[in-house]
Amino acid sequence: CLRCRRRPPAGFMSCINVVREKMKFPSTMDYSMWGSNTERGPSGGMSVYLSFTAKNSLGADLPYRAYCIIDDLGVTLQSVKPR
- Residue 35: CB atoms within 10 A of its CB come to 13
Burial class (CB in 10 A: 0-12, 13-18, 19+), 38: middle
pTM: 0.82
Instruction: Please measure the distance between the N-terminal and C-terminal CA atoms of the chain and give it in whole angstroms.
Output: 20
What are the tens digits of pLDDT across the range 19-60?
999 999 999 999 887 888 888 888 888 999 999 999 999 999
